[in-house]
C-alpha cells in the first residue's frame, strides 16, 4: 500500500516545509499515541540529534503524545542506536528518533522503533497514517501523559557500548581520532573510547545546532584523514550525525569503507565460530566483498539498498551480520539496529585480538573499481522493459567478460536512474559506465519526445 508520509526510513524533509513542521509533529505524536496507547497509559521515549530544530519537534511530539494519554521519557541528544537500546531497556512501547541522519542541519525527520528496538512494522505505520487523517481529540485531564527526563541516558548507553566487546579488552596504547560529525555521539563516542583506555582525540564534537555533518563525519572523512596523519594516530573513526554509520581511516590515511569493515568483522566472527547464517550486503556492495567471502566459504546475499531490506534478509535467513558500503553495519548478535560505535568496537576488538593494524586487516579484501553515474529523469521509464537499454547492458557485460558487473536502478528518493559498473579493470569500468549512461540519456530523451 502506498504511504502518504512514511518512506523506507521514517518521515524526512526540509524544516518548515510540510510535513516537517511543528503543527504536523504535534498531530504525529497524538496519532502515534492513539495507535500504541490504545486507550491505556503507556510509555514512549524520545531522543534527538543536535539540530536546532530538534527542540521544536521534541516539544511538539511531547505535547501530542500527552494529549493522547501517553507518558514520555525524554533522552535528550542521543544516537539513533542508543534510542533503540533505551527503548528496550526502559520497557517503552516505542521509541522516537528526531534526526535526518547524515543530512545538513536544515533537514530533519522522524524515525520510530518498536518495543524490541526494531523498525516499526508496516501495519503500525499504516495505522498511524490513518489516525493522522482524523480530528485531534485530547483525553481528559486525569488521563494526560506525563513527561520526565532520563538523567542517566548517556551513561546507560556508554555502558552498553562497552559491554559489546570482551570485558578484559583494553585500548591502552592506542591513539584514536574520532569524528562525531557535530552530531548525537559528541558526548558518547569520546567517553566510550576513553573509558576503554585509548588516547582519544575528538573532532566534530562541538555542536552548535547548525554544524551537524558540515565538513565532517562519515560522509566527509577528509578532516578525519588529515587529523589521523597529523596526530600520527593508529586509526580514525568517523560517525554520522545520528551515529548509526561508521567509516574508518587507517594509520596511513586510507579510508576504510563499510564493505571493508563488514569483511573484517565477518572474518573475525567466522574465525571465532560466531558467524551464523549468511552475511547480507546490498546491490551496491563491492564485488570484491562478494569474492572475498566466497574465498573464505562465507555465504553472502544481496538485499535492496537500505538497512530495512538488509535487516529483512538477516531475519529471514537467520543471519547476524549485514551492512552497506556507506557504513551502516548491523551486528544482530550485539544489538538490534545499525550502530556506528558498536561496529567500531567490533573492529577494534579484532585488531587487538589478532595483533594487526587496520591497514593490514583490510588487505584480506580487494576492492574492485566502481563507477556510478546518475542520469536525471525528465520522465520515468521502465529500464527493464527498454530494448535499447537492455541491449547496452548485455554489451557491457560481454565486454566485462565475467570480471565485473553492471547495475541499473531507479533512485528511491530522486528522479534519477543510477548507472553503476564495477570490475577488475578500472579504465574499462569507467568507459562502460559512461557508454551506458549515454544510452540511458538517449532512451529518456526518446521517451520524453514520444510522450
Whether 41 shows a pLDDT value over 80: the answer reads: no
Quick one: 370-450 is in which CATH superfamily? Alpha-D-phosphohexomutase, C-terminal domain (3.30.310.50)
Q: What percent of the chain has pLDDT over 70?
A: 98
What pLDDT, on a 0 to 100 scale, did the predictor assign at position 1? Answer: 47
Give the right CATH number for 11-151 from 3.40.30.10, 3.40.120.10, 3.40.50.150, 3.30.43.10: 3.40.120.10
Taking only the tens place, the pLDDT of each residue in 165-218 is 999 999 999 999 999 999 999 999 999 999 999 999 999 999 999 999 999 999
Catalytic, 343? Answer no
11-151 and 157-364: identical CATH topology: yes
What pLDDT, on a 0 to 100 scale, did the predictor assign at position 390? Answer: 95
User: Where in the chain are the domains?
Assistant: 11-151, 157-364, 370-450
* Contact call for residues 176 and 236 (beta carbons, < 8 A): yes
Q: Which residue is catalytic, options 53, 101, 336, 343?
A: 101
When pLDDT is cut at 50, 70 and 90, the band that residue 42 belongs to is confident
Mean model confidence pLDDT for the chain: 95
Whether 37 shows a pLDDT value over 80: the answer reads: no
What pLDDT, on a 0 to 100 scale, did the predictor assign at position 414? Answer: 74
Taking only the tens place, the pLDDT of each residue in 260-299 is 999 999 999 999 999 999 999 999 999 999 999 999 999 9
Count of C-beta atoms within a 10 Å radius of residue 3: 12
Quick one: 157-364 is in which CATH superfamily? Alpha-D-Glucose-1,6-Bisphosphate, subunit A, domain 3 (3.40.120.10)
Amino acid at each position: 500500500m502506498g504511504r502518504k508520509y512514511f518512506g523506507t526510513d521514517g518521515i524526512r524533509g526540509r524544516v518548515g516545509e510540510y510535513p516537517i513542521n511543528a503543527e504536523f509533529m504535534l498531530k504525529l505524536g497524538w496519532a502515534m499515541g492513539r495507535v500504541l496507547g490504545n486507550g491505556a497509559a503507556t510509555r514512549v521515549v524520545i531522543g534527538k540529534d543536535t539540530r536546532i530544530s530538534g527542540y521544536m519537534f521534541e516539544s511538539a511530539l511531547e505535547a501530542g503524545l500527552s494529549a493522547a494519554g501517553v507518558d514520555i521519557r525524554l533522552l535528550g541528544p542521543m544516537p539513533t542506536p542508543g534510542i533503540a537500546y533505551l527503548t528496550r531497556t526502559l520497557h517503552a512501547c516505542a521509541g522516537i528518533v528526531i534526526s535526518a541522519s547524515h543530512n545538513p542541519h536544515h533537514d530533519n525527520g522522524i524515525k520510530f522503533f518498536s518495543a524490541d528496538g526494531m523498525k516499526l512494522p508496516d501495519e503500525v505505520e499504516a495505522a498511524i497514517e490513518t489516525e493522522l487523517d482524523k480530528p485531534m481529540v485530547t483525553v481528559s485531564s486525569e488521563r494526560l501523559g506525563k513527561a520526565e527526563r532520563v538523567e542517566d541516558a548517556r551513561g546507560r548507553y556508554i555502558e552498553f557500548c562497552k559491554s559489546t566487546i570482551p570485558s578484559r579488552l583494553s585500548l591502552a596504547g592506542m591513539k584514536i581520532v574520532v569524528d562525531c560529525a557535530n552530531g548525537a555521539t559528541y558526548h558518547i563516542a569520546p567517553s566510550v573510547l576513553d573509558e576503554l583506555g585509548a588516547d582519544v582525540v575528538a573532532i566534530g564534537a562541538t555542536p552548535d545546532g547548525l554544524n551537524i555533518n558540515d565538513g565532517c563525519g562519515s560522509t566527509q572523512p577528509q578532516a578525519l584523514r588529515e587529523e589521523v596523519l597529523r596526530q600520527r594516530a593508529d586509526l580514525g573513526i568517523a560517525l554520522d550525525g545520528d551515529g548509526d554509520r561508521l567509516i574508518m581511516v587507517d594509520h596511513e590515511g586510507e579510508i576504510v569503507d563499510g564493505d571493508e569493515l563488514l569483511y573484517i568483522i565477518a572474518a573475525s566472527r567466522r574465525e571465532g565460530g560466531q558467524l551464523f547464517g549468511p552475511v547480507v550486503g546490498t546491490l551496491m556492495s563491492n564485488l570484491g566483498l562478494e569474492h572475498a567471502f566466497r574465498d573464505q566459504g562465507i555465504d553472502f546475499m544481496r538485499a535492496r539498498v537500505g538497512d530495512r531490506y538488509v535487516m529483512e534478509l538477516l531475519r529471514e535467513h537467520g543471519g547476524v551480520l549485514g551492512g552497506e558500503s556507506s557504513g551502516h553495519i548491523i551486528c544482530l548478535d550485539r544489538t538490534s539496529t545499525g550502530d556506528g560505535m558498536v561496529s567500531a568496537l567490533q573492529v577494534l576488538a579484532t585488531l587487538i585480538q589478532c595483533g594487526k593494524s587496520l591497514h593490514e586487516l583490510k588487505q584480506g579484501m580487494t576492492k574492485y573499481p566502481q563507477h556510478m553515474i546518475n542520469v536525471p529523469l525528465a520522465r520515468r521509464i521502465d529500464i527493464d522493459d527498454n530494448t535499447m537499454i537492455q541491449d547496452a547492458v548485455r554489451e557491457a557485460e560481454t565486454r566485462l567478460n565475467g570480471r565485473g558487473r553492471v547495475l541499473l536502478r531507479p533512485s528511491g528518493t530522486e528522479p534519477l536512474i543510477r548507472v553503476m559498473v564495477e570490475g577488475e579493470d578500472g579504465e574499462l569500468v569507467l568507459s562502460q559506465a559512461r557508454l551506458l549512461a549515454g544510452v540511458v540519456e538517449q532512451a529518456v530523451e526518446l521517451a520524453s519526445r514520444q510522450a
